[in-house]
Amino acid sequence: MFFISVIGVILLNCGMFLSYTYISEFLQGVTHIINLDLTITLFVYGIFSIIGNWAGGRLLAKTANKLVLTIPFFVSALFLILFFVGEYSIPTLICIPFWGLFAGIMNTILPYWIVSAVPQAPEFGNGVFLSMSNVGVTIGTSIGGWLIVSYATQYIFLGSIAVLILAFLAVALRVKKFDTKQPAY
């Protein structure tokens, strides 16, 4: 269960950071949101990320497995929308709060997913979470950079979707095989 959880965290974080790392590049280069508008847009993203942290904690306490199983689909759906409407300001600006919200929820899920796999050693789980999150960021950033150089900036979203599908498979395997019933922390 622990190793499946580690793989899930790496893939979930990779899927998010594959796109998030290049959010400014996307907003400036594809959507043409610049200067103060870019600052405000990123501020809105951040505010909704904080709300997502709070909401993620509440949802984990009630339905942890359902939340972890569904979040890759919500994020993938949002990224698919951004892939197609990213060059238009209004639809993109409507999507940004949801992106922040889902990122905040994901940031709450990831430590829970590892720590709940080793409840007898939460400090160890937290240390592994930090390390594996960094692995996910590194891989995601690398893939995202390659997609931008090889194709175009908006292809980061398709890359994220592909990784999030793999993340879903890891998460589903853990839920099916181990059916964790542990409380949220």
Q: How confident is the model at residue 178 (pLDDT cuts 50, 70, 90)?
A: confident
* Pick from 170, 113, 166, 118: nearest CA to 139: 166
Angstrom distance (rounded) from CA 105 to CA 102: 5
Angstrom distance (rounded) from CA 131 to CA 139: 13
Q: What are phi and psi of 94, to 5 degrees?
A: -70, -35
User: From the CB of residue 111, how many other CB atoms can be counted at a distance below 10 Å?
Assistant: 18
Q: What are the pLDDT digits (tens) for 99-117?
A: 999 999 999 999 999 998 9
Helices 155-178 & 35-85 angle (0-180, nearest 10): 70
| Paired tokens of 2 | 């622990």
Q: How confident is the model at residue 177 (pLDDT cuts 50, 70, 90)?
A: confident
Q: What is the mean pLDDT of the chain?
A: 94
Determine the pLDDT at residue 25: 96
pLDDT at 82 over 60: yes
